[in-house]
Each structure stands twice: as structure tokens, then as C-alpha cells.
Structure 1
Amino acid sequence: MTEEVANIETDNPNKKKGRKKRKNFLSNAKKYGKKDQFGRGTKMTEELYQYFVGILDAMKKGIEEEDERQALVNNVLERTKGEELNIAGNQLGCRVIELLLPLSSAEDLERYMEVLAPELRRLCADNFTSHVVETLLRVSCERATEHLQETEVKEEPEQEPPKKKKKKDKESKSKYTEEHIKNCYEFTLKVCKYALNNLEDFVWDTYANHILRSALKCLSGITLLPGEKPKVNMFIITKTPNKGIAPHEKLQYKIVPQEFKDLVVEFANRLSSWPQFNDLPYKNVTSALLQVLLFAVKNTDKALTKNIVQKLLNESFAPDNWNNAEGNDDKKEEKVDLDAEGEDGAGVPLQKTELPPVFSCEPSVRCLEAAIFVAKKKTYTQIYAKCFINRLAQLAAMPLLNYTVQRLFDNCQVKEELEPMFEELSDRYPALLASGNSGVLVAMAKACHRLQTKQAHFLNNLEAALCCSSPEHQKYFPVLLLRLLPLPRVSVDQLDQEYFIHVHGSVILQTVLDFQRPAKAVTGLLELTPDQLMVIFCDAKGCHVADAFFKGRFVGVKARDKMVWKLKGYYQKLALSQYGSRAFEQVFASCTVEQRVKIMTEMADKSNLLNASMYGRLLADKLQLKLFQSNEENWKAALCKDCREAKDTGKKKHK
């Protein structure tokens, strides 16, 4: 295990990994078609192959009209009649069918169900058809449970549902007939039960394993896992981009029938009773299945979730005899200088200790993160005690394992639990900055804000790491934090010039401005010159600092007024910038009517410059600059009207 951990640790964290060039599936399909290679998998005629290439090309270009899009879907799926198995087994045909099934009619979807159902055992292990089976399962589950989601969404906000709305509910459910919903429900159960009956074979198969994961997601109501991005269907045009769920955000489960939840429990009981269950976290395919299982069981049986996590913890992640089981003779304790540059006292020697088996490879580490996510308070404490205690400093400095430390802080729910974790890393801030693992500091800042504890200590430690604790240097705190560089490495004379703002530094500063006592950050920002503030507010990452400053609960009114007056004469420059215009809107929204009039007067003096810029023109239209120039009183009346409407919708506006 020591060698594996060493390999994880010795990778140069500052070395940028070369991003693989993404293959263009469509261009490759055209290229292979010219070579008379009509896709891998089952054979397809040249005419049919070129037809699917044309369809994929049309889908990529996009069809805005919904009727035209639906007509194309119906025509293509009609063309596949009698050849469903052959087309689904071809690389190109599989890709097209996978994209079209979510938009298919009830008849076409049921036809694919009937054709693929008798061949499930062979198809689930096929490298192409398995994708079609997976999509078919997901679509059928969505249609089988869609009416449950509609009912729930409409019943929650409406406390007095009238009879008429019940009729509307029935009309909304009639998108698919009851017979089709029943067929989708039965098909979902059939595929999931079939996967459960063949669990021993499917777990180890690369493609069938994905069928198991999709089955667990469907049965438990999981839409996306934490950190998972949605699968993009280029044929479906979405108005709002779905960016997925961040690794630290909580899951939102869909409503599913009890029969689905019972199947999840069966999956968990069957899998956890295996003799080789303890080895599953250490392989990529099985670890991914375990992660989905943990999230699925969380929504079905909390007691079972606790039992599985404790079983993994005590028998796989950190068994009681793991110290003796490993070859201790080969493990030599060594002192590691976490900051090779050794500046500002960052190179504090750290005693390297042995790590539990769970930290030996990436699959098991990811499984541990899932366990942390689903664990309740007592189980969370056990995980911390057996895997992390007295090892946080070492783990936080590693390129791979620092993400696990971040998940540990993200899911901490008790103040008393956070304090020892916080103290363990209290002297490692310089090392974390030097190693590039500043995400740990972001997680710590958010934990301090969420639990309302250790905020002053966090700020003091951060100031010491940035070498700005002394009174004469405290004014540089915001700039140093945005750059995540200590004072000796920053040229104070060049603060008026553009510089690189670190995304983690910006997030930490925003979080600090939400602390109960953000005086140090507020004072530091107010002591900057307007030119220095322009550098921050006109940056893609720095402009969000304005949001936190003017929306912060504990940022005083006087401090906001000072910032408004400090920017006087620079609002024109803000409005002309892409990101500065965002900051301008936050400043303007927090102003009094008197301040807004003065800002608008400044803007009106050089309105031609605003109209010459795309961002300035949009902002001028939004603020009704032409109305202000023609009649100030009418502009004030329109402004007050907008504020009243915003107040009615719960939005905070000017005084």
C-alpha cells in the first residue's frame, strides 16, 4: 500500500495534465463510411449507414421547430422497423437510437421494449446495445413515474386545491395513456429484476455493470449524483443549461413507488452479503457501483445505509488489523517538507504516518467520499476517527486525497466535530497554499460559515499564511487573498495593474464577507483605491466579490455607502466592462434613491460611450437611461414602481 500511496503523492501537483483531444463522432463516422467501414458491431448496409450519418448531421445542426423535430424522430424510428436488433448493435445506429428514444412516441418505445426484452442477457453485456437498453430503462422509468412528480409539485404550493385543478392534473397526466404508463412500469421492473437475478455476473462485466447502476438510479429516484454532469442530448434544445450537481450539494430524489424502493433494498442485501464485498471498493467498476448503491439506499432505508457504511468502514476501509496486515518493515517514517520553496515559514516538517488501506487507490477513495456523503452524524464521527484523525495534514497536502478532505469538511454537521479538524490543520495554511491544494481552505471557510464557529481563528490563520497580520499590512489582505500569494511574492506597486485572480481566493473572500465579523475584509476593500477596485470588479472571478460585499448580512450600511462614494467617477468604466457591468448592477441595487440619481447623472454625461459598447447599451436600457435624461421625475416614479413589484416578489431593493 505504501508504494501506491507514494505514487499518488509524488506526482507533481503543479504539472498540468494534457487534456485529451475530444473525438468527433460524426466526422469519424463520415471518414469510415468513405473507407467502406460501416461502423463496428453488427453489419449495416451502406445505404442505411449513410442515412444515419445524414440524420446525425441534421440533429447536430439542430431543428428549432418542435413539430419538425418530432416528425424526424418518428420517421427514423419507423425506418428501423424489423431491424431494431441489428441497428442497436451497430456503433452508429446505437448512437442515433440512444438520442431519439427520449423523444419517441409510445408505440415506438413499446416496440423496442418488445424486441429487446427477450435478448436481455446477451444485450446487457454488449458494448453497443447495452447503451440502448440503459436509455430504454431510463426513459421507461421517467414515463412510469412522471405523474407522481407532477402531483407532488402541484400539491406542495397549493394549500387549498380546488376541484378544477384536479381535472387539470388529470389532463396533465394524459400526455401518455394509462396503458403506456403501465407498460413502462412493468418494463422497468422487468429489467431491474432481471439485473438483480443476474447480479453475480453483471457486477464484473464492464457494460452490464452500467445497467445495474442505471437500475439503482431509476429505482431510488436519483437524477444525478454529486459531481456528475448530465448526459447531453444534442437533439434536445434546452433554454437553461443544466450544469449538474456540485460535489458538496445535497441530492434531490424523485418520488418513486414503494415497490421500486423494495428492490433497492434487495440489491443492497444481496450485494452486502457477498464474501468478496470488502474487495469491491478497490476496483474501478465495482467501486462505481457501490457509490451508486450508497446514494440509492439513502433514499430507501436509512438503517440499511448505516449498516452498509459501517460494514465498509470496519471490514474494508480501515479494518482493525490493517496495521499488522501491511508490511510495516517496509514502511519507514519520513519527514516530508510540504513546501519545497520553504518561504514564510511554510516548510514546517510533517511526520508522515501510515495510512489506512482505503487511501491506497482512487476507486476506494471515491467510495469513501460517497460514504461520507450519506453518513449520519454518528457514522460520520466513526469515519473521521478511523480514517482521518491525526492524518488530515498529510492527506490535505496530497494531490488526490485533498479532495477527500474537502468532502469531509463539506459534510460536517456538528460544531464540536469541526473544531478538532480545524485545529489539526491550523498550522498548515502556508503548506496548503504552496502545494496548490487551496480547495481545502475553501471547504474550511464554508464549514466555518455554515456552522458559525472558528471564523475569527480562520481569518487569523489566513492572515498569518499571507504574511499580512501586522497592522500596516492588513490593508493588503483582500488582494493577497484574491491572488492566494503571500505578501513577499506580491509587488505592492503593481496593485493598480491587472493580475491573475485565483478562483479559490475569490470564493474564500466571498465567504469571509458573509462571516459574522467581516471587518478585516471590508476594511481592506475600502482602503483600496478606485483603480485597484476596478481591477477586481472588472474580472470574471473578482466581480462576484461585489455580490458578496453588497449582499452580505453583516456588512454594515456605512461600509456600503463608502464603497458607493468611492466608486464615484468610475461607474462609466464599470458599465462598459463585461464583468464590471455585473458588479455595477449589485452596487446600483443597494443604493438609495439619492445615490442612484447621482450615479445616473454621471452615466448620462457620457451616454454616447455607453451606446457604443454592447454591455453598456444593455445596461443603459435596463436602467432606462433615456427616460432619466428626458424626465427625472418620471424615471423616479418608474423606479419606485419597480421596487414595489420587487418587494412583492420577495426581492430586496433599495431603502
Structure 2
Amino acid sequence: MEGNRRIKKKRRNFASYLKHERYQGKRNLFGRGTHIDEETYNYLLRVMGVNISNFETEEDREIFIDNVFEEMAGKEKNILCNQVGSRAIEMFLPWASDEILLRFTCILSEDLRKMCLDGFGSHVLQQLVFVVSARLQKTQSSSPETNASQESQSSGPDISMRFKIWLQQVGQFVVNNLDEFVWDCYANHVIRTVLECFSGLPRGSTSKQKKEGHLEWLPDPEFTPSPVGEGFSLVQQCGCRILQMPEVFDYVNTNLVSGLLQTILLAVRKVDSQLCTKIIRHLLDYCILNESQAAARLMEVMISVAKRKTFRIIYIRCFKFKLQPLSLAPDANFCVQSLIKHCKTIDEFEEIFEELLPNFEELMHHNRHGVLVALGQSCQRLRCKQKEFFMQLQAAFHCVERERQVLFPLLVVHWVDYETWSMTTRNENADLPVTLPGSLLIQTLLSFNEPIKIIKALLEMDSKHLLKLLCDRHGSHIGDAFLGSKVVGEKQKTKLFMKLQGSYVALVTSTSGSRVLDKIWLWASLKSKKFILKELAASEDVVRSVKTGNVFSEIHGLAVFKRNPDNWEENQKRKERAEKLFADIIDP
């Protein structure tokens, strides 16, 4: 659902962009950058408005793309340095044939310096580097038979070799001009793209930001092979060159330099781990937390790529005895989260945990959700300090007393202490939202070694509150965790099933609640499934009036059950036998 919303928003924004550019064209403003004539400008806007995915066949799409680039023939230099033209070329390059890509490599090679420094041409250069690298990687990873068929359709080996030569040329050029390009906004991003492609990093590795403004790092992102034979060597050269530029390290608090250094660290770590360690230790003299958001992001990367010894040095020099103020700082708290997540040894984690333990309530009141979630997840991952974490969390939310403990899950998911909850519940119109961090914390607690207290609190929760929680987009994942947890016993799952009796219509008619019902169905015995369908059949009109209810009814045969329960039961048994037989074949 979230992905669909993002796609729709992106399409709306793009439609607004095209509308704005058409309006600008009527005012005889044909995009910034180099001048293009009105006819070309309007043509580019028309083809950009075509949805490429709507073509019925690949052949139709290829003809369309070929025609677009044919219209640009002889005018490429002007178009790619124009605001609208640059965007159009970027959009269509991934669909272009090898011959068209080769044509653009020749055009851009005529003046690489200008293309690197141009505000619009640099974007085309980045896209071309990425697309050519992807084509080469696809060729390298495909089977010999596939390669042979591709080569028979075009001058395959010759084009691949020319692509490699061009990539080497671009890579060597940006490395040779590193001392100049570091300071230019556009050329700086060209360097990043080259490093990402040459090291096999996913594109935009230092641009994946959450709404809070910090970087989201995978512990060990997958690297694909370098498309260029000398690719790893060029990455090493770049790492060595940056160490010989002391003036760069004075600007680690700027977004431009910080972003480049992040990319260099991520690229170098798989190519030359010793060089990566050398760069990190050099950076420790310059990267000061709490100075800027850029420095905090750089520190996150340093933590994520550091080896165990270097990680220890980072912890001692930058975090030890400073965790309390850093965990409350707007930007540095993300570094604390990264430190906790990448902590590999129990001893180190216990040091961090003990330093932060007295500050749980302060972290809660300052809404530093991420630090508490990271601590909980590391307690679960390293199998230590789980009891202490749970007890301190109860104290932070002011529900240590026995009569308050039943409210603990509600307080956590709504991220309020007991006093705030009491004041809010007096107001009948008050409606506290379920928070994502609160939901993540409860899910983490359910995977602890001994989650009996949190299980008991969930099962003793008021049915109205439980139903509201399970029908929430964040809270529904707690139901998934409860039913999917290996440490939650069958008796507790049965108690949850019984507690939800009378609520299955409400669950199935909710988008998020229907997901929980799907999980319950997977766990349920045949007798329990019959009970669910019996309850739904009594309100079939209500169930079928909602899309989620209608889908559930069709999949699980509500109409068949209502008409002939015995027939439904026989079909269900046959289906379960087939699934068991298939499972035995797949995993004997």
C-alpha cells in the first residue's frame, strides 16, 4: 500500500512538472541551459508524457524509443545540456539500444570535463555510466548461449569492449581530476556514480534517506561484480588520492564532501579493507559529532563499514561516556542507533547498555524512539540484558506496579507514560495514534527468551483496545509477531483466538486487520477455521461489502461453507493433505 502511494505521488508530481513546462513554453521559455527550438521542446514534452510501460509489445516500445532518439540526431549536444532535454534523455536511456548508447558515449567523450561540470549534462553522464555498467553486468552474468544469441543480433563483443573502454576512460578521468571535481556540485555526483558502478554498489547508496533525515544502511549490502576489469583498481586509486588531499578532511561537515566520503568508504571496503580502515582512522581526527547533520551521516557509514578493532576505536574515541547527550541530540542519536545495531560482541554491548540504562525515561520523553528500539533489537540479537531492558522500559513508562502492568503494551504502542494515558482516557474524544516505534518495541519483546509478561499483558488487554490495535497499520504487525513467534506457546495463541471471538467481522473488513486474520487462519485448526467462517457467515453482507472481506470470502470458500459445511470441510481436508504432501516433497 505504501509503495502504491509513493508511485501515485511520483506520477502526480511528474504530471505537474510537464504541465508547468508546457506553460513555460507558451511564454517562450524553453528550459534552462542551452537553447533548444520550440518544436524540439514541445516534441520532448509530448514523448515524456507517454507511459512506456503501456506498450503492448517490446517491439512497439523499441520502435518508439528509436524514433525518439532519431529525432535528436545531430542535436544531442544542445539537448542534453538543456533542462528539459536532459530529463528526457535520462528517462529514455535505460530503454535505448546498444547502438544508441554507443552514440552517446562518443558524444559525451568529446568534452568530458564540460559534461562533468554542466548542471544538466552531468545528469545524462551519470545515467549513461549507470546504464552502460548495467548492460555489461547483464552480459557477464548471462549464460554463454544467451551471449551468443545477443552477439548474433549485433556486433556484441565489439560493443561490449567499447563500453568497457569508455567506462575506463570516464573512471580514469574523474580520478585524475579528483582534486578539482570534489568541490563542484555536479562533478562530485559524477564521481559518486562512477564509484558505485565500479565497485558494484547499488545506485544512490548515499542518498537513501528516511523522513527523519538519516541514512538507512544495510549491514552488508550485496555487491555485484565490477563491469570493468580495472574497476576495483580505480576505486583503490580514488581512496589513495583522497588521503593525499588533507584540505578535503577540513570540510567533512559539508554535505558535498561528506556524501563523497560516504561513497568512497562504501566502495573501498570490499575492494581493499585495509585502505578502508586507513581512511576511517584518518577521518576520526576530523569528524566531530554534533557539529552537523553531514558529519553524523558520515559517522554512520564509518560505523557500518568498520572492522571489529576499528569499531572499538570509534566507540572509545567518539561515544564512550558521551552516549547520554549524543542519544538525545537531533542528528547524533542516529549514530548511536548505528553503533548499537553494529555492535558484534556482548561485552561491548553491555558497556553501551549500562551507560544508557539510567536514561530510558529521558529518551522516551524526548521521543528518541530509535535508540530504545535499537537497544531492544540488540538485546534480542545478542541474547543478553533482556530482563533488565524490559524492567527499565516498564519504569520509563511508569507501569511497574502490578495493576498498571496490564496497560504496558498500550502505553508503549501509543508512546505515552501512565499519567498521560490516564489524563487522555478521561476525554472521550481523545484518540492516541499507534506509533511505529512502539509497535516495533512490542514485536521485539515478543521475540525475547522469556516474553511471558508481555504475552500476559496483551491477553489481559481490553478487547476494544486489542481490536483497535490489530486493525491499525502499525499495530497489526504485533499480531503477526505474536502468532509467528516461536517462544509464544500454542496455549497463548489459542487464548488470543478465543479473545477475538466476536471480532472477526471487524478484522476482515479492515485492511490491516484482515492481514492479522490471514495469520490466524494459517495457525488455526480445522475446528477453529469453521468457527471463524461461522461468525463471518452470520454477517455475510457486511463482509462482502468490503474488498478485503470479499477477497477473504472467495479464497476460503465462505459461500460453500454457508451452503454446505460438510462439503467445505471435505474440500479443506483434501487441500491440507495436498499441501502436506507437497511440503514433504519440497522439504523431505
- In the TM superposition, residue 171 of structure 1 has moved relative to its aligned partner by 4.8
SS at match of 1:469: coil
The aligned counterpart of 1:252 is 222
The aligned counterpart of 2:414 is 483
Given the alignment of the two structures, is residue 424 of structure 1 paired with residue 346 of structure 2, yes or no?
no
- In the TM superposition, residue 412 of structure 1 has moved relative to its aligned partner by 1.2
Check 1:220–1:92 CA distance in 2 against 1; reply closer, same or farther (3 A cut).
Answer: same
The aligned counterpart of 1:221 is 200
Further displaced range: 570-579 or 59-68: 59-68
Between the aligned partners of 1:185 and 1:218, the Cα distance in structure 2 is 12
- Letter aligned with residue 169 of structure 2: K
1:542-566: CA deviation from partner (whole Å, max 9, x where unpaired): 1111110000121111100111111
The aligned counterpart of 2:9 is none
1:600-643: CA deviation from partner (whole Å, max 9, x where unpaired): 22222322222122110011112122333331333322441464
1:385-443: CA deviation from partner (whole Å, max 9, x where unpaired): 00011111101111222111111112111111111111111111111111121111111
- In the TM superposition, residue 138 of structure 1 has moved relative to its aligned partner by 0.8
Given the alignment of the two structures, is residue 310 of structure 1 paired with residue 297 of structure 2, yes or no?
no
- Letter aligned with residue 551 of structure 2: L
Given the alignment of the two structures, is residue 188 of structure 1 paired with residue 167 of structure 2, yes or no?
yes
Between the aligned partners of 1:617 and 1:642, the Cα distance in structure 2 is 25
The aligned counterpart of 2:580 is 644
Taking the TM superposition and a 5 Å limit, the aligned residue runs for 1:358-373 are: 358-373=289-304
1:153-195: CA deviation from partner (whole Å, max 9, x where unpaired): xxxxxxxxxxxxx646755787872222222211111110111
The aligned counterpart of 1:573 is 506
The aligned counterpart of 1:76 is 68
The aligned counterpart of 1:279 is 250
Is the Cα contact below 8 Å between 1:282 and 1:363 reproduced in 2? yes
- How many residues are matched? 563
The aligned counterpart of 1:615 is 548
Is the Cα contact below 8 Å between 2:296 and 2:334 reproduced in 1? no
Given the alignment of the two structures, is residue 593 of structure 1 paired with residue 526 of structure 2, yes or no?
yes
Check 1:508–1:172 CA distance in 2 against 1; reply closer, same or farther (3 A cut).
Answer: farther
Is the Cα contact below 8 Å between 2:193 and 2:204 reproduced in 1? no
- In the TM superposition, residue 61 of structure 1 has moved relative to its aligned partner by 9.5
1:361-404: CA deviation from partner (whole Å, max 9, x where unpaired): 22222111110110011111100100011111101111222111
The aligned counterpart of 1:17 is none
Between the aligned partners of 1:496 and 1:384, the Cα distance in structure 2 is 47
- In the TM superposition, residue 148 of structure 1 has moved relative to its aligned partner by 3.1
Check 1:610–1:170 CA distance in 2 against 1; reply closer, same or farther (3 A cut).
Answer: farther
1:90-109: CA deviation from partner (whole Å, max 9, x where unpaired): 11111100111111011111
Given the alignment of the two structures, is residue 634 of structure 1 paired with residue 570 of structure 2, yes or no?
yes
Instruction: Return 5+ residue gaps in structure 2 as ranges.
Output: 1-11, 210-214
Taking the TM superposition and a 5 Å limit, the aligned residue runs for 1:435-454 are: 435-454=366-385
Further displaced range: 61-70 or 247-256: 61-70
TM-score, normalized by length of structure 1? 0.82
Between the aligned partners of 1:283 and 1:566, the Cα distance in structure 2 is 55
Check 1:135–1:534 CA distance in 2 against 1; reply closer, same or farther (3 A cut).
Answer: same
- In the TM superposition, residue 48 of structure 1 has moved relative to its aligned partner by 0.8
Further displaced range: 280-289 or 42-51: 280-289
Instruction: Return 5+ residue gaps in structure 1 as ranges.
Output: 1-20, 152-165, 231-244, 318-356
- In the TM superposition, residue 511 of structure 1 has moved relative to its aligned partner by 1.0
Pairing partner for 1:605 from 529, 538, 545? 538
Taking the TM superposition and a 5 Å limit, the aligned residue runs for 1:538-549 are: 538-549=471-482
Taking the TM superposition and a 5 Å limit, the aligned residue runs for 1:529-568 are: 529-568=462-501
- In the TM superposition, residue 149 of structure 1 has moved relative to its aligned partner by 3.6
Between the aligned partners of 1:143 and 1:34, the Cα distance in structure 2 is 39
Is the Cα contact below 8 Å between 2:199 and 2:231 reproduced in 1? yes
Given the alignment of the two structures, is residue 295 of structure 1 paired with residue 266 of structure 2, yes or no?
yes
The aligned counterpart of 2:19 is 27
Q: Which has the higher helix share?
A: 2
Given the alignment of the two structures, is residue 466 of structure 1 paired with residue 437 of structure 2, yes or no?
no
1:197-250: CA deviation from partner (whole Å, max 9, x where unpaired): 1111111111111111011001100014657449xxxxxxxxxxxxxx943543
Taking the TM superposition and a 5 Å limit, the aligned residue runs for 1:37-48 are: 37-48=29-40
- Letter aligned with residue 306 of structure 1: T
Between the aligned partners of 2:379 and 2:547, the Cα distance in structure 1 is 40
TM-score, normalized by length of structure 2? 0.91
The aligned counterpart of 1:126 is 118
- Letter aligned with residue 44 of structure 1: I
Identity rate of aligned residues, in percent? 31
Is the Cα contact below 8 Å between 2:266 and 2:305 reproduced in 1? yes
Check 1:169–1:181 CA distance in 2 against 1; reply closer, same or farther (3 A cut).
Answer: closer
Between the aligned partners of 2:206 and 2:189, the Cα distance in structure 1 is 17
RMSD over aligned Cα atoms: 2.4
Pairing partner for 2:184 from 205, 210, 229? 205
Given the alignment of the two structures, is residue 504 of structure 1 paired with residue 421 of structure 2, yes or no?
no
Further displaced range: 169-178 or 384-393: 169-178
1:115-141: CA deviation from partner (whole Å, max 9, x where unpaired): 110110111100011111111111111
The aligned counterpart of 2:212 is none
- In the TM superposition, residue 540 of structure 1 has moved relative to its aligned partner by 1.0
- In the TM superposition, residue 292 of structure 1 has moved relative to its aligned partner by 0.0
Between the aligned partners of 1:103 and 1:150, the Cα distance in structure 2 is 19
